[in-house]
């Protein structure tokens, strides 16, 4: 299955600290996307990284992709209380995304 | 970025009735739309993929006759839960994918805000 598996399941940090979230998958992909979901809301697209890319930045976000290890990481720098949410990685192949259970990030003010 | 809306945002209905949920891409043409359902604190499970003007492709285990999907235009897809039962209560989320949506190209899926369905 190409379902992403996020690690850790939950992460609690202090405002200003960096948050690192990891994702692993099992099959070949075309791209991998990271999403954020606030409680009871839809998903917000954060960043897409293609299989031929190794690193991508967007504001305070940094995503890496290692296709040899079938893993990706999402780094949020200088976290804010507003970053508190669930984060999902979604490996993409054959035009479909498959979501894991997500990581619950809590940023303490 | 690209905006996807869903209507209604929540609905409560009696067992046995049908409920229609709309998904609209507001500022781009969605060649493909996806329907997911999510249980509390769980992952999103893909239910079906719909392309404009053609029949939806359902994932294994999803009943086609129960979850009717219509993708009538490049900006609108509807999911109808027929003869709803309490076990159909869930959070239903659609996503849309199109060309150059929000600069994300054709691979990025943009999600609606979701619809909370409660069947009594």
* Chain B: closest CA distance from residue A33 (Å): 8
Contact B91 A30 (CB under 8 A): no
Q: Which pLDDT band, with edges at 50, 70 and 90, does B99 fall under?
A: low
Contact B32 A92 (CB under 8 A): no
Whether pLDDT at B53 is above 90: no
Domain span at residue A31 reads 1-46
Q: How many domains does chain A have?
A: 1
Give the model confidence (pLDDT) of B27-47 as tens digits.
888 889 999 999 887 889 999
A95 and chain B in contact, CB less than 8 A? yes
Q: Are A46 and A74 in contact (CB under 8 A)?
A: yes
Average pLDDT taken over every residue of chain B: 89
Which chain B residue's Cα is nearest to A36?
Answer: B111
| A19: in domain | yes
As a whole number of angstroms, the distance between CA A26 and CA B46 comes to 18
| A98: in domain | no
Question: Residues for chain A: how many in total?
Answer: 109
**A98 vs B contacts (CB less than 8 Å):** 46
Whether pLDDT at B106 is above 80: no
| A60: in domain | no
Contact B46 A42 (CB under 8 A): no
Between A93 and A58, the more confident residue is A58
Instruction: Quote the distance between the C-alpha of residue B108 and its chain's center.
Output: 16
| A72: in domain | no
Q: Residue B103's pLDDT is what?
A: 47
B103 phi-psi bin (left φ>0, alpha ψ -120 to 50, beta other): left
| A16: in domain | yes
The β-bridge relationship of strands A61-66 and A85-93 is: unpaired
C-alpha distances out from residue A55 to A17, A35, A68, Å: 21, 17, 14
Q: Count the neighbouring beta carbons within 10 Å of the beta carbon of residue A20.
A: 14
Which chain B residue's Cα is nearest to A93?
Answer: B107
Contact B107 A96 (CB under 8 A): no
* Chain A: closest CA distance from residue B43 (Å): 4
As a whole number of angstroms, the distance between CA B29 and CA B96 comes to 9
| A73: in domain | no
| A41: in domain | yes
| A23: in domain | yes
Which chain B residue's Cα is nearest to A30?
Answer: B107
């Amino acid at each position: 299955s190409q379902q992403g598996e996020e690690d850790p399941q939950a992460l609690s940090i202090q405002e200003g600290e960096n948050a690192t979230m990891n994702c692993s998958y099992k099959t070949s992909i075309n791209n991998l996307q990271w999403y954020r979901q606030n409680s009871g809301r839809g998903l917000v697209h954060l960043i897409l990284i293609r299989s031929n890319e190794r690193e991508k930045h967007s504001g305070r976000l940094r995503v890496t992709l290692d296709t040899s290890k079938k893993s990706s990481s999402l780094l949020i720098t200088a976290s804010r209380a507003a970053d508190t949410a669930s984060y999902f990685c979604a490996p993409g192949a054959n035009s479909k995304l498959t979501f894991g259970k997500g990581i619950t990030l809590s940023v303490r003010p | 970025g690209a905006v996807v809306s869903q209507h209604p945002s929540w609905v409560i209905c009696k067992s046995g009735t049908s409920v229609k949920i709309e998904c609209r891409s507001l500022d781009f043409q969605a060649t493909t739309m996806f329907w997911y359902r999510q249980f509390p604190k769980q992952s999103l499970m893909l239910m079906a993929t719909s392309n404009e003007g053609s029949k939806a492709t359902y994932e294994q285990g999803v009943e086609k006759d129960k979850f009717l999907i219509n993708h009538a235009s490049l900006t609108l897809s509807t999911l109808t839960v027929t003869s709803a039962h309490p076990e159909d209560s869930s959070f239903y989320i659609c996503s849309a994918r199109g060309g150059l949506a929000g600069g994300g190209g054709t691979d990025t899926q943009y999600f609606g805000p979701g619809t909370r369905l409660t069947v009594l």
